[in-house]
Amino acid sequence: MEYYSSHISNLIEELGRLPGIGPKTAQRLAFHIVNLPKEQVGTLADTIRDARENIRYCKVCGTLTDAETCPICADPARDHRQIMVVENSRDLAAYEKTQKYEGVYHVLQGAISPMLGIGPDDIRLKELMQRLQGDVDEVIIATNSSLEGETTAMYISRLIKPTGIRVTRIASGVPVGGDLEYIDEVTLLRALEGRTEL
């Protein structure tokens, strides 16, 4: 039995497709949106559409940006000889919140996961290896402490070791199985400062 009109049901269904949004939260958001002033709903819809049309991946590191190159890669004050490899843009944002890392990043946009059919060719490893042709002193591997993250870290380490570039891994302090985006800045900073050679 349908409790709501098709418009409300459709809105709840679409909101429920978003990650981390369950049926109750989708319903709560739908009612909130329906009760907003029309101008505010229009602004929200325009902002979502504008973001989808204008946000792309940085041509250097692969993070989300609205320009060809992200502000971090374009910043000459950053240490471009030190590259931190992360799984996604959320992990990059988590490290940027520490305000202590002065190098640049490489966003893999995923992790190796044989169970999900994601292999080395499905993440941005070729682009990383191309970047290492330049003047790079250290690659910091900051993938998650999950099975997939550890697998990816070991694979990257084996790829880079023959080049002679220093390869380090963030230290423990980041709990095993934890996602970087949910970890506080102090823990992330300690993990960065205590990184170890691979």
CA atoms within 13 A on the CB side of 169: 21
> Cα separations (Å) of 111 from 87, 147, 156, 158, 177?
6, 10, 11, 15, 14
pTM, entire model: 0.77
Q: What is the CATH number of domain 6-54?
A: 1.10.8.420
Residues 163-193 have pLDDT tens digits of: 999 999 887 666 667 777 777 776 777 677 7
What's the distance, CA 112 to chain centroid? 15
Lowest average pLDDT, out of 2-6, 72-76, 129-133, 134-138, goes to 2-6
| Residue of higher predicted confidence among 172 and 101 | 101
Domain boundaries, the chain: 6-54, 78-197
CA-CA-CA-CA torsion for 125, 131, 132, 138, nearest 10 degrees?
-90
Mention every residue, 6+ apart, whose C-beta is less than 8 A from residue 138: 81, 82, 83, 103, 165, 166, 167, 168
pLDDT at 26 over 90: yes
The pLDDT of residue 188: 77
- Give the domain 78-197 fold: Dna Topoisomerase Vi A Subunit; Chain: A, domain 2 (3.40.1360)
Q: Which DSSP letter does residue 153 get?
A: H
